[in-house]
Amino acid sequence: MQPNNTNRTTRGFRRPPPTAEELARGAALKAEGQRAKDQIKGERAQFDNQWPEIRTDFEPGVWREAYQRMHADTLAVSIVQLQQLEELTQEEAERKIFDILDKATFVESHLILNGAQRVEKLFENMELATGDKEKNPFQSPEDLSNFLKSMAPIFKIDVRTRKWKNTGMQTRKFCQVLMQRLQLGDVIDDKNFEETYNEFKSTIEVTFPAARNFAEREYHLDISSYCYLATVAPAFKYDKPTGRLSLNPDVRLLALHLPILARTLHSNNPQLQDRSRLVTTAASYYGHAYPNCAKCSGVDPSTNAVKMNVFRNKFENLNVDVQGKQYLNVTSFVRPNDRMEQLEAVRVEPDRLDYSNNFVTGQGPVTMDQDGKKKEVDFKNLEDYLKKCKKSVAQRKED
């Protein structure tokens, strides 16, 4: 019969059973660890519950309470600034700011939940959400259009589709910094963009460390250049020959002056998934988590090292290889305040960088097939490749 070595050490000595004191100490340590986990979980839930639920309903009473509770200091500064800008009494300035915030939050919520929309469609959805026209703060599509234009760059219009989108909090804050520096007489142009933006990046504060990478790149996802900024926000002017940015004295946008308008209600909401802000980026696969969830990381300069989720179970026909054999083009919703990943994929397609680069430069053979077979570059290969890519594109199912 073989001896029982359960209680023996590697040297063959029998380990004595734990004493009652040791058992009690172990149980106490385990209980303390569980209490610490429960405390963290409770604090996280308390933090997440600060924000009202993101809904399409018009709820000014709920929103005003939240603004006063969560942004009291920023709100107070903004009221004083509006008083000075428009020579209003404190009561008049406070009333005007809340009227603006009611409308901005209403627009923001509709764009978050329903995606980018043209003015006519956005107004139609607002009418459906309110039911009673007297509650809709906008009287007509024209009224809504004028408000959206006056609130740039909180909202921006896609010049190709004419659809309106939200912008990110860091984008809004950087635009306010640019306005302040230009008012002081600073020279801001394409040549010193990196220096200007790096100074701004040092002031960025994030709730979760994992979100910093995204926050530092958020401006580039909304505004591609100073030239584009002047198109989106006409309070800025851009001189092409010199690449210099300046202020347009004929246009004044309150969103560039009032800090509270850079921090609209859901801007810092950890539950925010903004369907109006779609980002397409090259990405590489680096792992997985949960059942059927691929983990990717951006490799574009504007999304470098930004993490993104690809939930396979939310896709139809997801037969794209994400096992590290190729790069991917991933189009994602923005989740700027998520604790881990700031992008969630809605479209995935293959992107063979070796093929694209070789075709452009005409240098050497190109990997085309799944088995790794190489073929010389020509237009027939390109046509076949594009057909394969089209068949491999996967689109997220409608929620």
Please give the share of the chain, as a percent, with pLDDT higher than 70.
86
CA distance 307 to 298: 6
Which residues are bridge partners to 333 per DSSP? 278, 344
Q: Does the pLDDT of residue 23 top 80, yes or no? A: yes
pLDDT at 324: 45
Query: Which helix (H) or strand (E) segment is 277 a member of?
Result: strand 274-288
* Between 67 and 354, residue with greater pLDDT: 67
Give the chain's mean pLDDT.
86
pLDDT grade for 101, boundaries at 50, 70 and 90: very high
* Contact partners, residue 393, CB within 8 Å, separation at least 6: 320, 347, 348, 349
Q: Does the pLDDT of residue 321 top 60, yes or no? A: no
Residues 294-307 have pLDDT tens digits of 888 998 888 988 99
Return the closest-CA partner of residue 344 out of 266, 281, 265, 392: 281
CA distances from 175 to 97, 152, 318 (A): 19, 10, 39
CA distance 272 to 71: 18
Q: For CATH 2.40.50, list the domain ranges present in the chain.
A: 277-396
Per-residue pLDDT averaged across 142-147, rounded? Answer: 97
Residues 339-392 have pLDDT tens digits of 889 999 998 887 655 555 555 555 555 555 555 566 666 677 777 777 777 777
The CA-based angle 145-150-152, given to 5 degrees, is 100
Per-residue pLDDT averaged across 102-121, rounded? Answer: 97
Which residues are bridge partners to 188 per DSSP? 245
Q: For 189-227, give the DSSP string.
A: EGGGHHHHHHHHHTT---SSGGGHHHHHHHHHHH---HH
Give the 3-state secondary structure of residue 111.
helix
Fold topology of 277-396: OB fold (Dihydrolipoamide Acetyltransferase, E2P) (2.40.50)
- For residue 48, the Cα-to-chain-centroid distance in whole angstroms is 17
Residues 191-232 have pLDDT tens digits of 999 999 999 999 999 988 989 999 999 999 999 999 999 999
- pTM reported for the whole predicted model: 0.83
Residues 162-173 have pLDDT tens digits of 999 999 999 999
pLDDT at 56: 94
Return the closest-CA partner of residue 293 out of 318, 256, 271: 318
CA distances from 267 to 189, 204, 259, 283, 336 (A): 28, 14, 13, 25, 9
Q: Does the pLDDT of residue 10 top 60, yes or no? A: no
